[in-house]
């Protein structure tokens, strides 16, 4: 069913690893930075595989609506909560977007760990964690509470690292 698939992000191939790790019977719609949709050909290709653009410099209403539409129709949406590629754990704080989308949609968050060091043309273990829900009380959360939830999400993701070896 509907879920926000949240993974760490260190390499431009991570969306491929993420989509390959999730049930292949259902497409994962990847939220991707708008900068990769540069040409008609790339835009066509990325949209064909289910990706959609997000403007990371603002609260992109179009990307939010697209995500909520996919979740409402029972689809999976892939998001990298760090918002950019990061070379080491805990180098940047996760953004609040995935949490707010999970809260608003009621969809679970599925943490995923993708190894930072990948071996091309070899098997790489991607670890999919247990789904969980946030804000069961449906109360309005503060910025500090979102910060703690974002840190918890990254702890869950990075905690899966030991299972990948």
**pLDDT above 80 for 165:** no
What local confidence, expressed as pLDDT, does residue 132 receive? 96
pLDDT confidence bin for 23, thresholds 50/70/90: confident
What's the CA gap between 37 and 86, in Å, rounded? 21
**pLDDT above 80 for 55:** yes
* pLDDT tens readout for residues 60-116: 899 999 999 999 999 999 999 987 777 666 667 888 999 999 999 999 999 999 988
CB 79 within 8 A of CB 98: yes
For residue 28, which of 39, 14, 42 has the smallest C-alpha distance?
14
Q: What is the mean pLDDT of residues 15-22?
A: 82
What local confidence, expressed as pLDDT, does residue 50 receive? 86
What local confidence, expressed as pLDDT, does residue 121 receive? 79
Q: What is the mean pLDDT of the chain?
A: 87
What's the CA gap between 55 and 22, in Å, rounded? 25
Q: Side by side, which strands form the sheet with 3-7?
A: 52-54, 28-33, 76-79, 3-7, 109-113, 127-128
What local confidence, expressed as pLDDT, does residue 7 receive? 94
What's the CA gap between 94 and 150, in Å, rounded? 5
Q: What is the mean pLDDT of residues 154-162?
A: 91
Per-position DSSP letters for 124-147, written without gaps between them: ---EE---B---TT-PPPPHHHHH
What local confidence, expressed as pLDDT, does residue 2 receive? 94
């Amino acid at each position: 069913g509907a879920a926000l698939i949240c993974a760490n992000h260190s390499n431009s191939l991570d969306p491929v690893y993420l989509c390959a790790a999730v049930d292949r019977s259902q497409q994962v719609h990847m939220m991707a930075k708008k900068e990769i949709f540069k040409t008609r050909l790339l835009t066509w290709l990325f949209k064909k595989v289910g990706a959609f653009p997000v403007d990371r410099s603002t609260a992109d209403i179009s990307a939010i609506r697209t995500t909520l539409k996919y979740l409402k129709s029972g689809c999976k949406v892939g998001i990298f909560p760090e918002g950019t590629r990061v070379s080491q754990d805990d180098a940047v704080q996760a953004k609040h977007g995935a949490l707010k989308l999970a809260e608003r949609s009621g969809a679970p968050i599925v943490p995923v760990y993708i190894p930072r060091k990948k071996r091309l043309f070899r098997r790489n273990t991607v670890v999919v964690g247990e789904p969980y829900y946030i804000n069961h009380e449906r109360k309005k959360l503060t910025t500090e509470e979102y910060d703690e939830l974002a840190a918890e999400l990254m702890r869950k993701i990075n905690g899966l690292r030991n299972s990948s070896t």
